[in-house]
Amino acid sequence: MTKKILIVEDAFIFAEDVKVSLEEEGYYVIGVVSTYQKFFNFIQVNQPDFVILDINLKGEESGISAAKYLYEETNIPFLFITGQGDSATFREAKQYFPVNYLVKPCEPSEIVLALELAFHNEDKLEKKVSNSSKKTFKDLTNPNKTHLVDLKDIYYLESRKRYITYYTSEEYFMETSSLQEALELLPPTFIRIHRNYVVNINRVSSIESCRIILDDDRELEVSRMYRKVVLEFFGE
């Protein structure tokens, strides 16, 4: 499947050069935007597979703000390109886990190679994760005790601040993590439906426009941001 790329860059000529280089390598550039607001509006109705982010954008919000949104609200990987090579900018950028950080001047070919490597590593991780069918949790009352849980028995995940709760039919297990970090370590049968929820699609009984009903009759809200993607995923 052709990978869909969004470019967030306010230098028009450079953005076009990158776009041409990506398309020559078989990627589909679904958009080129120059501000955070345009990025935000675009991401509400489109689902790129990867985002190329310039840190310095037109307007008040920077590429760091876009990275923060991608990290906290989506499962979309991204890399930074920037003219700022100072350590302070790098420290601020790396907290949102970009797959790469390229300092200008850089050639479009370097971005293509970085993208290729990112997808290669992602495929390897997905294969590794898909081969794992269990997850280990520490006991909430006894840190020396652990629980081994089949992933198929997990119905959904709920995020509250820095804690993730994994719910089975009768039990729940907690760990310190972000929802994004947890999702990256789960097989593709788990999808995000809300900023606070990830659901196991194999435990979904039915779906309506704004909620999912699990096979034990529990209901989860589907947020407006994820509604289109969820409905398309289930062929609704």
Which 3 state secondary structure label does DSSP give 71?
helix
pLDDT value of position 143 = 58
> Considering only CA atoms, which of 88, 108, 87, 111 is closest in space to residue 99?
111
Q: Taking a C-beta distance cutoff of 8 angstroms, is the pair 93, 80 a contact?
A: yes
Which 3 state secondary structure label does DSSP give 142?
coil
Q: What are 88-119's pLDDT values in tens digits?
A: 778 888 788 888 888 877 777 788 888 888 77
pLDDT value of position 142 = 64
User: Which are the contacts of 34, defined by CB distance < 8 A and separation ≥ 6?
Assistant: 8, 9, 10, 12, 15, 57, 58
Phi then psi for residue 20, to 5 deg, are -60, -45
> Considering only CA atoms, which of 33, 90, 104, 92 is closest in space to residue 68?
92
Q: How far apart are CA 100 and CA 122, in angstroms?
A: 13
Question: Residue 219 to residues 191, 208, 211: CA-CA distances in angstroms?
Answer: 15, 10, 7
Q: Which residue type, as a one-letter code, is found at position 86? A: D
Residue 38: CB atoms within 10 Å: 17
Domains and CATH numbers, the chain: 4-129 (3.40.50.2300), 134-233 (2.40.50.1020)
pLDDT value of position 198 = 93
**pLDDT at residue 207 above 60?**
yes
Q: What are 129-159's pLDDT values in tens digits?
A: 444 577 888 776 665 677 888 888 999 999 9
Q: pTM score > 0.85 for this model?
A: no
User: Which are the contacts of 94, defined by CB distance < 8 A and separation ≥ 6?
Assistant: 101
